[in-house]
Structure 1
C-alpha cells in the first residue's frame, strides 16, 4: 500500500483541502489524509511536535512555526486567500452591509454577534475598537469555541449576526450569507502550507504542496469562497 501523506489545517481551509486532496489522490494514486481543526489547536499541536507531513494555516501562524523551527521555511507556499463575510439565520432579514457605516449600524442593532478565534475574529475585535463600540457590544459578543463554526451558532439561533471567513460560511445549512464585508473594511487572510520538520514523507509532502498551490487548484478555490494568491 502507498504511504499516506498526512496534514493538519484550520477549519477555514477544511473543504477546500478535502476536495484538492481527493483530486490529488485520484490523479497520482497517492493517499492523503488532512485533519482540520481549530487554528489555535492546529498551531499548538505542531508546536508541540506532533508528526504531520504538511501544515496549512494563516501566514502569521506559519511564520510562528518557522521561528520555532517546526516547519521547513524553504517549503512555504501560498495556497489561497479568503475574505470575511456576514451571515444571518436562514430567512431572517438581511441587514445592509453596503459600506463601513452600514456594517457598523448592523453590529450595533444586532442582539448578538458571533465571531471566531481565527484571523477574522481578531480583525473584528480591532474593527470594533476602532469604531469605539467594543465596550458597548461586549455583552452581546459570542466567540465560537475553537473548531466550532460561527455558521452553526447562527443556524442554532445562538447568534443573530455572524462574521467569519467566507469559506467557512458557504454551504452551512440554516444560514444565509448576506455577503462579503465591503471593500473599505474587508480583510484578506493568506493561507500558506509548509512541510513540517517532523514530516515522515517530506518529498511527497512537497509534491502535494506544489499541487495545492498550482493553477489547477484555482477553480476549486473559487467554489469555496477563496481565491489564488497572485
Structure 2
C-alpha cells in the first residue's frame, strides 16, 4: 500500500468515525420530566442507567401530585413550566388530563404504592396493625405529620373522618408542604409520620412501623403521562418502556413500590 493510499484510508476511517459520532449525537434527545414523591427514589436510581444506555439526557424536577404548594405539579403547570413527561398519582394525572395538560389516552400505570407510618429511631413504636390500634395511636400521638399530596389528602379527607378522629386531630396533625414527612419526623418536629412507604423507608433516622391495615389502606397507582405540546414524545415513550422493563423491577421493589408490569 502506497503512502497516499494509506493516508486516504486513514482519512476515510476518521471520516466514518466522525459521521457515526455525529449520528449518535443527532439521535440523542433531551427531555424534561417531573415526578411526584412516591416514585422519586426509584426514579433517581433508574434515570442514570437510562441515560447511559440511550445517550439521552433527562432534566428532572420533583413535586407533589396534588395541592397548591409552590413546587406541586399542578402549580408548576399553572406557571407555564414546560415538561415532556409527568409521573404522579393516578388521581393527579387524571385531573391533569381533564385540564388538557396531558394527552388523553397516554396514561401508563408504572407502580402501586401504599401508605405507611414511621417514628424517629429509638422512640417507642406504636401499634397500627389493626384499625382499633391505629385509631388509638392517632389519638395518643402528641404530633402527627402527613403529606400535602395524595396520601395526605386521603388521610385528612377520608380516613380520619371515617375513624371519627378528625376533630381531635385538628391540633395535633399537620399537613407538610414541600418537604418529606420523614424529614420532619427525623428532626423531631413530629412524633408520628404518615406517607407513601417509598418516601419513608430510606430515612436512616426513622423506624418504619408498618403500613395501614388492609381494610383502611389506600393503594395508589403512580402513572406516567405524555404532556400536550411536547416535541419529545418518542423519547418520553422510550423512558416509560424502560421503567416498565423486567430488568428494573427489582430496583423498584427495593424502594418500597410494586411494579405493575411485573405482576
Contact 1:53 1:199 in 2 (8 A): yes
The whole-number CA distance in structure 1 between the counterparts of 2:127 and 2:104 is: 43
* Alignment: residue pair count: 229
Residue 47 of structure 1: how far off its partner (Å): 4.5
Aligned: 1:24 with 2:73: no
Aligned: 1:109 with 2:140: yes
1:154 aligned partner: 185
Aligned: 1:13 with 2:39: yes
Aligned: 1:76 with 2:102: no
SS of residue paired to 1:194: strand
Aligned: 1:135 with 2:161: no
Max radius of gyration: which structure?
2
SS of residue paired to 1:32: strand
Q: CA RMSD in A?
A: 1.5
> For residues 122-166 of structure 1, what are the alpha-carbon distances to aligned partners after superposition, in whole Å with 9 as ceiling and x for unaligned?
111111101111111210111111x20111110111100110000
Task: Tell me which of 99, 103, 115 is aligned to 2:130.
Answer: 99
SS of residue paired to 1:57: strand
The whole-number CA distance in structure 2 between the counterparts of 1:34 and 1:28 is: 16
The whole-number CA distance in structure 2 between the counterparts of 1:3 and 1:27 is: 13
Task: Tell me which of 179, 185, 188 is aligned to 2:219.
Answer: 188
Aligned: 1:144 with 2:176: yes
The whole-number CA distance in structure 1 between the counterparts of 2:77 and 2:104 is: 14
Unpaired segments of 5 or more residues in structure 1? none
How does the TM-score come out when normalised to structure 2? 0.83
1:53 aligned partner: 84
Residue 29 of structure 1: how far off its partner (Å): 2.1
Residue 46 of structure 1: how far off its partner (Å): 2.6
Unpaired segments of 5 or more residues in structure 2? 1-24, 67-71
Residue 48 of structure 1: how far off its partner (Å): 4.5
SS of residue paired to 1:177: strand
How does the TM-score come out when normalised to structure 1? 0.94
Higher relative contact order (CA 8 A, sep 6+): 1
The whole-number CA distance in structure 2 between the counterparts of 1:139 and 1:196 is: 40
Distance 1:159 1:92, change over 3 A: same
